[in-house]
Amino acid sequence: MDSLSRRVDQLRRRIPGFECKPGCHDCCGPVTASSVELARLPVKSEAEHEAALEEWNCVHLGPNGCEAYEQRPLICRLFGTTPQMPCPEGRGPETPTDESVVLQINQLIASTRQVLV
């Protein structure tokens, strides 16, 4: 495992989880991810990507929500866990993501090549 992969795993563990409203996908949309995160996601065809973008959705959003939830990118994990990215339904963890973690994630995103998921 390379250092970027270890870094992504370390940051993932520091983002608190919370229960989303069943059936909600208000925070889902096209996002970017690093090559490490992208490699963990199911492969989708170019046609699937184009169809999702036409609807302004993420290619991994299925009829029952995120089909790649366990492997979702850091940016997706942050939604609803920080005041800068609030859950549209008002949900979130008891304790938001620590600001130092948000800063580290922002730095990682800025320092890595990001690809549209």
Q: What is the predicted pLDDT for the residue at 32?
A: 94
Q: What is the count of structural domains for the chain?
A: 1
Tokens 């948000």 belong to 102
| Domain assignment of residue 63, given as a range | 3-116
Residue among 92, 117, 109 nearest 15 (CA) = 92
Q: In sequence order, what are the residues at sequence separation of 6 or more whose Cβ sits closer than 8 angstroms to the Cβ of residue 103?
A: none
User: Of the candidates 76, 44, 75, which has an alpha carbon nearest to the alpha carbon of residue 60?
Assistant: 44
Going 42 to 114 to 82 to 29, the CA torsion angle's sign is: negative
Residue 67 and residue 83: Cα distance in Å, rounded? 26
Distance from C-alpha of 29 to C-alpha of 18, rounded to nearest angstrom: 19
What does each of the 117 residues of the chain score in pLDDT, given as a tens digit?
A: 699 999 999 999 999 999 988 888 888 999 999 999 999 999 999 999 999 999 999 999 998 889 999 999 999 999 999 999 999 999 999 999 999 999 999 999 999 999 999
